[in-house]
Chains A and B, each alone.
Chain A
Amino acid sequence: MATITSTTARTLLRPTAQKGLLSWLTTVDHKRIGIMYFWTALFFLFIGGVEALIIRLQLARPNQTLVHPETFNQLFTMHGTTMIFLAVMPLIAAFINYLLPLMIGARDVAFPRLNAFSYWIFLLGGIFLNIPWFFGQAPNAAWTGYVPLTLNQYSPGLNADYWLAGLQLVGLGTLISGFNFIVTIFNMRAPGMTLLRMPVFAWTTLIMSFLVIMAFPSITIALFFIMFDRMFGTHFFNIAAGADITLWQHLFWVFGHPEVYILILPAMGIISEVVPTFSRKPLFGYSVMVFSTVAIGFLGFSVWSHHMFTIGMGAVANTAFALTTMTIAIPTGIKMFNWIGTLWGGSIRFKTPMLYALGFLSMFVIGGLSGVMHSAAPANMQQHDTYFVIAHFHYVLIGGALFGLLAGMHYWFPKVTGRLMNERLGVASFIFSLIGFNMTFFPHHFLGLMGMPRRIYTYDAAMGWNTLNMLSTVGAFVLAFGFTLVLVNLLVSIKKGKEAGPDPWDARTLEWITETPPPVYNFAVTPLVSSRDEFWARKYQGAPALAAEEPGPIILPAPSYFPLLMSIALTVAAFGLVYSNLLLTIGLAATLLCIIGWAFEGVGEVTIYPKGFEQQ
């Protein structure tokens, strides 16, 4: 079936397994990598969720001591870190990995081995971050890691060391994915798939990837600064030596604010695919949608200091950042109206994906509006570091990003597995999630305005926060039940779901043209694209099903050991950063060897003979 080029086989060992564990460990297939991202992200979502439930239990009633205060610090730190870096971002990566090449008519991403490397370094980095739980020294300085909390004086243990090194690992994987997705979109589009014919999901992926490659360098540098302060006694954040600790806050939020658009843009892309399909209308205002996405991308880099209104930046800076922050509501609002415009007059089908999409639209508006409230610097002084902020970003992260991803999950499940998810369970999961979510986080608005600070261990009964906190805790369990139903639905439907057929939703875009589930080569012949909604145009508007090439053998990239080996080497180096210079040297030397091996191994080629074109 497959042949491997002789030059690479001669110099270096190349894996040839096509089934079994080894084939997964060495795969460079974007679909397999997407699936691995998906399950790993769900695993970390579960861990982050359990942490959240423990936090809510601790806060259910006043003066509780369910967990130790130190453990509480570790819980909220790891909850934030896990949900952002190990759950939502990888879940986004899962969708992009699986769908992006299919949507633009490509057979893989531009750099398949780097893609595999991104996954493995994320997996090992995620495990690395969670290891200190086992000896009770998980990171404990909040996901923002503000100095001086993360410096030696206040964090003498291993907590901060694991956090710093772990984030470097995870960040490296994300950064490389960013490069990979941009090049893929620029260069791997099928003939005829112009930039302005790409699905909006591909556009949001493009802008999100630009945000990644421009934002992550800042956090990388900032993390190194803290590492150096801890390891070598440098003075980046030593006030006594003349330093300024707000430098960390700037460097962190120069990354941290684009990061929230990194989390929300792909979800917006998914919504832009789901809403037209289930309204049976083309997306309203496609070009405006694209340009709004670009605008959000640029503006997203000019607002970071609105996280720092309370540090005394002065009236000019506060005003400037308040204004840029308010400006960003405009492209976001435009998008919202475009989705409503798409729904307007459509023949809407309320299937599970559409329900989650509608959930996204309504919940994201609430989160967006409280965001605009934050942008007013004087009001922000009152809301800063209270539960109001928690309410805001959970509305955009759960009600926004996660609901969007759940819509996508239910929408593309048939494409990946060939089976439908159970509709009844889907609706039930949506109802429980929506109710539970609002029960948990709507009270936080009031708690915040009543003065309950964020990250607080417990509170006095006389503060008047008792009922709302109890309500929130009960809501958290309802939400958890809703998400459990999603998981049950997934597991049941994979084995027992109804056969989906090639086009269960009457969809519009290129990924539905090929077989379901897609073959390893995606398209037997690369399609020639002539329209924005190519599949729809072919079905209903008489667009001819053109191909850009003759049927024939297909060349795919060859599997490789090096992505996994190199991420192991870097993880060893990360342990070295925590424990010993010797280990660090070994890890870096091994990494260097892997780079050399990687370079000399080359991409490699496997020739596949699609159905109807068997090897002569």
Chain B
Amino acid sequence: MSTYPLPQQEPQGAQESVALQAPAHEAHHAALGVDSKKIGMWLFIASDCMFFGALIGTYLIYAGKSTVGPYPQDLFDIPLTTVSTFILLMSSLAMAMAVHGAQHGDMKKLKRWLGLTILMGLTFLGFQVYEYSHFIAAGLTLSRNLFGTTFYVLTGTHGVHVALGVLWLTLLFITALRGDTKRVNPVNVEIAGLYWHFVDIVWIVVFAVVYLMADVAA
């Protein structure tokens, strides 16, 4: 008679929640079986694809349209940027190792690699500051031409992402030093890691499209 099919068996998860009252927030026994914060971070990454898509798209649309110099090929120092790119890539390795440490309950390993990630993040930012000051000295300001406008806003937004990442990791690091294992749990470290790796991916694209293709775009 019934047009409403009843389930053949107990839905997944029902048994566990009988034993334990599920708190009504992040720690809620999850219908997808993963932490809500992790889903949230992946959603943020999907959304950030549009964010950086707009910035990189604008850079490319305006590439080669500057009416006055300096132009990209006058300024870019590929070997230097290769070094900073390398450092950012290796910071992702360090971050992955930190997450590995957190997931295996190895706080010592976590702290060591987290500290290294922070250091490499700061080094990358240092390279960016050096690069900016060098470019400004060479006459490329934010308001000099379209190249300056789009270049600084794109790489600057990425730099802000890196800086916020460094801040986030530093907070985690301090919390880990204080021995607060409740807050420095595998999920919290992992989502910070996801953010960090995403910022790294964006740089992979920026390095290829903005720096290495500079001659073609112009």
Contacts and interface: CB of A to CB of B under 8 A. Distances in A.
A and B directly contacting (CB within 8 A): yes
B134 interface: no
Interface string B28-60: 101110101001100110111011011100100
A243 to B, nearest CB: 6
A242 B10 CA distance: 64
Interface stretch (B13-21, B73-81, B95-103, B115-123): B13-21
A148 interface: no
A492 interface: no
Given A191-B12, A233-B143, 20 more contacts: A108-B25, A110-B28, A180-B40, A182-B39, A186-B32, A187-B34, A188-B28, A217-B48, A217-B53, A228-B153, A247-B58, A529-B11, A530-B4, A532-B4, A536-B4, A542-B2, A555-B21, A555-B22, A556-B23, A599-B171
A326 interface: no
A242 B54 contact: no
Contact of B18 (A187, A189, A549): A549
Contacts of B149: 228, 234-236, 241
B43 A243 contact: no
A605 interface: yes
A557 B51 contact: no
A614 interface: no
B213 interface: no
Nearest to B66: A242
A549 B17 contact: yes
Interface residues on A, range: 35 or more
Nearest to A220: B51
10 contacts: A107-B28, A111-B25, A186-B39, A187-B31, A188-B36, A214-B50, A234-B142, A234-B143, A528-B14, A603-B26
Given A183-B36, A235-B145, A542-B2, A556 B24 contact: yes
Contacts of A543: 2, 4, 6
Interface in A558-616: 592, 596, 599-600, 602-603, 605
Contacts of A188: 28, 30-31, 36
Interface string A517-555: 000011000101111110011000111000011101111
B61 A108 contact: no
A557 B2 contact: no
B146 interface: yes
Give the residue among B27, B54, B175, B183 with the most A Cβ atoms within 10 A.
Answer: B54
B25 A110 contact: yes
A602 B183 contact: yes
B36 to A, nearest CB: 4
Interface in B90-146: 142-143, 145-146
Interface of B: 1-7, 10-14, 17-18, 21-28, 30-32, 34, 36, 39-40, 43-44, 46-48, 50-51, 53-55, 58, 61-62, 65-67, 142-143, 145-146, 149-150, 153, 167, 171, 175, 182-183
Given A110-B26, A213-B46, A533-B4, A192 B11 contact: yes
B146 A241 contact: yes
A548 to B, nearest CB: 5
A1 to B, nearest CB: 16
A134 interface: no
A243 B65 contact: yes
B44 A186 contact: no
A94 interface: no
Contact of A187 (B7, B23, B39, B142): B39
A463 to B, nearest CB: 41
B6 A530 contact: yes
Contacts of B54: 217-218, 221-222, 251, 254
A110 B36 contact: yes
B28 A187 contact: yes
A151 to B, nearest CB: 13
A112 interface: yes
A569 B121 CA distance: 27
A179 interface: yes
Contacts of A235: 143, 145-146, 149
B6 A179 contact: no
B167 to A, nearest CB: 8
A596 B153 CA distance: 26
A597 B87 CA distance: 31
Contacts of B18: 548-550
A104 to B, nearest CB: 9
Contacts of A182: 39, 43
A460 interface: no
Contacts of A499: none
Nearest to A188: B28
Nearest to A555: B23
Contact of B6 (A193, A531, A600): A531
Given A242-B67, A549-B22, A552-B21, A217 B51 contact: yes
